[in-house]
Amino acid sequence: MVRVVELRKAAAIGTKCTVSGWVKSMRSQKTHAFLELNDGSSQSSLQVILSPLQSAQMLPSGTCVEVTGSVVKSKGGNQETEMSCDDIRVIGPCSDAAYPLQKKAHTLEFLREVPHLRSRSNTIGGMLRIRNAAMMGLHGFYQNEGFVLVSTPILTSSDCEGAGEAFEVSKSAEFFGGKTAFLTVSGQLQAEAFALSHSKVYTFGPTFRAENSQTSRHLAEFWMCEPEMCFVGLPELIENAEQAIKCAARRVFESCSEDVEFFEKRYGLQKVDLQAPWKRISYDDAIVALQKSGTSFEKEVKFGMDLGSEHEKWLAEVYADQQPIFLFGFPRELKPFYVKERDSFDLLVPKIGELIGGSVREERFDILRMELEARKMPLQHYGWYLDLRKYGSAPHGGYGIGFERLVRMVTGLENIRDAVPIPRVPNCLPM
Ligand code: 4AD
Ligand code: MG
């Protein structure tokens, strides 16, 4: 199958071929007509030149066509090549004047109303290619580093984060002999089991949170990449996280340069610095810095408090000068039960906030058990997890990358709903 992206390159000049795709737009001039053909392989369309006979009938945007012709040097300045048409055949007509993606700029809000069609737009089309590159970039990084990919279950019996935000699965109690199943909020606890046999593993899959947040940072269904490794401490974990994100971003910037340029122009994407090391600051030092920040909130900042989005914003945008920053060493009370005292970290990114949360895990049986009890968590659900501390426990840790937030970072898109193929948010389940 010949793709538009190949035919747009100068090397294709002289090629005679057949290419299929969807009509982006068609405009007619005196002597011939121009048809913009896109097949999802590139941000820009292939310009097809139609003779008066071939363009007697205007093909509406959205029509699926097959074009046979020759690639020639373009006479216009906007592209290197165009296609002269020997034959054009309609594969799937798009006759309805109500087709939502007529040739004009659409708002992202409007596009969210047509999730089944919006991938044909420049923005969502480009986002999907970038998302693909970012995902492959992460897989490539962990594979290169010797991590084993394990697919942890979607149906789980325990709430990893202990935040009470798990979706309950109907019919599960009947099915599982009285035990209720929940959609996973994180694959971490299961990934820990595999780390304690394979030393370096990662899981990358959909996770679910029934938090009623109508924000530009939250989805009810989002993808998370969660590496888990043994025999490392916090500095190694943070370094690993930095290299993983830089590797994914580099892959996007290198392999999707046309899309990246589009996002720079249309959405003001600012590329993060992939050369210099990103700053690290301890929670204690961050509190002091925030208290001296000269901001309207500086007087409210106290030791022991959870940082709010305005604090994270200041740290990444002012303190770290518009670059990502690692914040580490949170008090235990601010983090889930499995986190080792003062051995946790978050990665904060300008305009996005928290992109990663991670920690060294408590590997001591007695302390972990006390922590579960202190938080009144149902011990019977965590027996298997405590076992991991009984049978050859090892120092280990990991982190979770919120994948759609990473997509926002490398596109400049403001709303997380536009960084996922089909968003799942409160009161909205269109397909
Ligand atoms: O900080 P969180 O809740 O950490 C965990 O789930 C750990 N178990 C991860 C681990 O250590 N393996 O979530 C991790 C990341 C956040 O930093 C954020 O980027 C993203 O997941 N995230 C969300 N993304 C979109 N919508 C939501 N509702 C999200 N909640 C968390
Ligand atoms: Mg977190």
Token pair of 374 as six digits: 């202190």
**Is residue 423 assigned to a domain?**
no
- Residue from 224, 326, 346, 409 whose mutation best tests the ligand 1 pocket (most atoms within 8 A of CB): 224
DSSP letter string over 360-398?
Answer: EEP--HHHHHHHHHHTT--GGGSHHHHHHHHSS---EEE
Q: How far is the CA of 160 from the centre of ligand 2 (A)?
A: 12
Q: How far is the CA of 357 from the centre of ligand 2 (A)?
A: 5
Regarding an ipTM greater than 0.90, the answer is yes
**Is residue 428 assigned to a domain?**
no
Alpha carbons 100 and 61: distance in angstroms, whole number: 10
- Burial string for 405-429 (b: 16+ CB within 10 Å, else e) reads bbbbbbbbbeebbbbbeebbbeeee
Number of domains, the chain? 2
Ligand 1 atom with minimal separation from the 346 CA: 17
Which pLDDT value is given to residue 286?
98
Domain end residue (candidates: 54, 80, 103): 103
Query: Look-up: residue for tokens 């992206």?
Result: 5
Residues 77 and 124 both lie in one domain: no
Q: How confident is the model at residue 370 (pLDDT cuts 50, 70, 90)?
A: very high
Alpha carbons 139 and 134: distance in angstroms, whole number: 9
Query: What predicted TM-score, i.e. pTM, was given to this entire model?
Result: 0.97
Ligand 1 atom with minimal separation from the 189 CA: 8
Ligand 1 atom with minimal separation from the 219 CA: 26
State the chain's mean pLDDT as an integer.
96
**Is residue 113 assigned to a domain?**
no
Residues 387 and 412 both lie in one domain: yes
Q: How far is the CA of 65 from the centre of ligand 1 (A)?
A: 43
Which three-class secondary structure state does DSSP give residue 145? Answer: coil
**Is residue 247 assigned to a domain?**
yes
Which three-class secondary structure state does DSSP give residue 162? Answer: coil
Alpha carbons 401 and 259: distance in angstroms, whole number: 23
> Are the beta carbons of 222 and 206 closer than 8 angstroms?
yes
Residue ranges making up the domain that contains 348: 118-418
**Is residue 425 assigned to a domain?**
no
Alpha carbons 220 and 426: distance in angstroms, whole number: 7
pLDDT digits (tens, 9 = 90+) for 158-181: 777 777 799 999 999 999 999 999
Non-local CB neighbours of 25 within 8 Å, separated by 6+ positions: 35, 36, 61, 103
Q: How far is the CA of 167 from the centre of ligand 1 (A)?
A: 15
Q: Residues within 5 Å of ion ligand 2 by Cβ?
A: 357
Q: What percent of the chain has pLDDT over 70?
A: 100
Residues 214 and 313 both lie in one domain: yes
Residues 254 and 157 both lie in one domain: yes
Token pair of 164 as six digits: 């009470």
